[in-house]
Amino acid sequence: MIISASYRTDIPAFYGAWFMNRLDAGYCRVENPYGSAPYRVSLHPEDVDGFVFWTKNLTPFMESLKPIRERGFPFLVQYSITGYPRQLEFSVVDSERAVAQVRQVAADYGERVAVWRYDPILFTSLTPPDFHRENFTRLAAALAGAVDEVVISFAQIYRKTRRNLDWAAARFGFTWEDPPDAVKLALAAELAAIAHQHGMQLTVCSQSQYVVPGAAAARCIDAGRLADVIGRPVRAPVKGNRPDCACHLSRDIGAYDTCPHGCVYCYAVRERDLAQTRYRQHDPTGEFLYPVAQTETEPDIQPRLF
């Protein structure tokens, strides 16, 4: 099984000690976000094909990558670098430092290990289409040669996202919008061309309506890429987490409402105060990333399913 760590929170930035402790233990337990019983996930090398780390700041975790590899665990890194203003991303590491981290990963572990994510694309008075064209071009030039893929998506405005955006807009004096598809398609086509100029394939995450000529559907959990890193096939069916998701089957070990980065567009956090409180309450020696009520009916999920 491929283990996702994690699209629900930034484990490398904030929960690296917990992750390494769980590797020592050989398992972790995960709260089911849909209300069912929590479950147990094996982290034994024989049960794990590899990890996919999702992050906006790899610095606290960089020293852990080598021992993870030495234990026999291959990994990929989905690294989000958007370079947005602080009004939208309160505490994300600056883009120059993030680019340096990606280039270091490529140098140490190979160019197929890291994938750049420029997502979500958010349209505000601070980040209009012209901003995205110029910003994307700058970042693509800086990352050229270190990555061969860039993933984009356009911000999905859930109820909690709308509430957080409205709060930030009122607090910091900007406006935001969800423009028509014509605007998004035009920008996606331009970004695909810019990516190609810098040796990258542009892919679109879970939004097939924006897969323009020159782009492709993203596979963020990518057994093929992981196989390239390992040097052997990885058996995993395509089993996305939502409509249009082209990911291979994985098991995520994170928890929602635990990332204190404070990005106002984030789908995984209802309120930043809640995430910060949970981060402070986190026990790096615990079985769960965030403690939950225990049940007597917890299933034992072993990652080797077929």
The pLDDT tens digits for 159-185 are: 989 999 999 999 999 999 999 999 999
Tokens 């995993």 — which residue?
236
Residue 274: per-residue pLDDT = 92
Q: Which two tokens stand for residue 282?
A: 């986190």
Which sequence spans correspond to the domains of the chain? 2-301
Q: Is the pLDDT of residue 299 over 50?
A: no
Contact 146, 108 (CB under 8 A): no
Instruction: Please give the pLDDT value at position 292.
Output: 66
The more confident residue out of 19 and 33 is 19
Q: Report the percentage of the chain scoring pLDDT > 90.
A: 84
DSSP string, 242-291: STT--PBPEEE---TT--TT-BTT-SS-S-HHHHHHHHHH--TTSSBSS-
Burial of 285 (0-12, 13-18, 19+ CB in 10 A): exposed
Is residue 145 classed as helix, strand or coil in its secondary structure?
coil
Residue 216 · residue 208 · CB < 8 Å: no
Query: Which pLDDT score is estimated for 238?
Result: 87
What are 152's two structure tokens? Answer: 């984009």
pLDDT the model gives residue 293: 58
**At 155, which helix (H) or strand (E)?**
none
Query: How many CB atoms sit inside 10 A of residue 76's CB?
Result: 25
Residue 304 in this model has a pLDDT that exceeds 70: no
List of residues 6+ apart from 286 with CB closer than 8 A: 18
Residue with tokens 């980065």: 261
Exposed/middle/buried for residue 27 (C-beta within 10 Å: 0-12, 13-18, 19+)? middle
Q: Which residues contact 40 (CB under 8 A, 6 or more apart)?
A: 27, 28, 29, 30, 298, 299, 300, 301
CA separation for the pair 13, 162 (Å, rounded): 26
Q: pTM value?
A: 0.93
